[in-house]
Amino acid sequence: FLAVYLGTSVPTFDIPDLAGKIPPGLQYLPLLATFIGFGVKLPVVPFHTWLPDAHVEAPAPVSVLLAGVLLKMGGYGFIRISLGLFPQASTQYAWAFMLVGVVTMFYGAIVATLAKDLKRMIALTSINHMGFVLLGAYSTASSGSALGVQGAIFQMFNHALAIGSLFMLSGYIHEQAGTREIPLLKGLRITMPRTATLLMLSSLAAMGFPIYSSFVSEFMVIAASISAFSPYAVTVLVPALTGAYFMWMLRRTVLSAPTGSVVVKDSPRLDSAVLFAYLVPLFILLIFPYIILDPAAPVSQYILHLRGG
């Protein structure tokens, strides 16, 4: 950024003043630097390795904050800084960023199928979801379609609510059962019916099931990526993989018979109501997605203006 400061006709760090004024030849190195920095924060492969361990070690409320707010700073950085300040370089190398997004999506989904710890599985789902964000943002840079950036912003909002609910539930289950190992959590529908119901509803939200707005955001990103590069139709497999490992988890934790070896207490009604409140906006936004998409529209139009589309 010091090179940007010294190399532009307007020596400033003010983003609106710099937008559109950085020479194309000066954009490549700062774009690479922002990719590394925001790639760690989002995170994307290969900068993702810190996230599963951080979530596993953190208390549930901290995991909610990490997934719901801190990871989004990476997405914000890609959209506001990388696309906003370096539009020509971003357009030229959009294919590379999109490829990283696709790899991140598949990596998160495939590795999550191998996870036995409930919280680690949820953390890997976060990586999967953040791949959608990167893919959507750079689909706009590649194709000139506003759908990608809008889908990426929508995906960040949906992810915060769905994954936040799952992290809180995993924390409560661990507190009661003394373990997060999926094979050891049996018959929750009998022993913890309210918790089990919320776990199923939250899992459906994380899958992108069509009763939630998360379905809309994932559909938007996939559609935008296909408009940029048709072979990315393969990304439709990612929600299928996500659904497969969540159904595997639910079959063992909720739908199996209880072992009777662990005495647990169901979540209080008030706590259950609060966790259900996480999911209510996802129902509402499925019907009224413009609540998020309308405020996001000027952002996508601004990116397209800088791109020249």
In a domain, 4, yes or no: no
The pLDDT-based confidence of 244 (bands split at 50, 70, 90) is very high
Measured distance CA(26)–CA(297) in Å, rounded: 28
How many folded domains does the chain comprise? Answer: 1
Q: In the structure, what pLDDT confidence band is assigned to residue 10 with cuts at 50, 70 and 90?
A: low
Structural domain harbouring 277 = 31-307
- 30 vs 74: CA distance, rounded Å: 15
Per mean pLDDT, which range of 6-20, 43-57, 138-152 is the poorest? 6-20
The answer to whether 258 touches 185, Cβ cutoff 8 Å, is: no
Per-residue pLDDT at 260: 64
Q: Is residue 24 part of a domain?
A: no
Q: Would the pLDDT of 261 be above 70? A: no
Does the residue 20 lie in any domain? no
In a domain, 172, yes or no: yes
Q: Which two tokens stand for residue 30?
A: 């700062």
Q: What confidence category does residue 243 fall into, taking pLDDT thresholds of 50, 70 and 90?
A: very high
Percent of the chain with pLDDT over 70: 95
Separation CA 210–CA 100 (nearest Å): 26
Q: At what angle do helices 237-253 and 118-143 cross, to 10 degrees?
A: 170
In a domain, 1, yes or no: no
User: What pLDDT sits at residue 309?
Assistant: 58
| The predicted structure's pLDDT at residue 265 | 85
Is pLDDT at 209 greater than 70 in this prediction?
Answer: yes
Backbone Cα Rg of the chain: 20
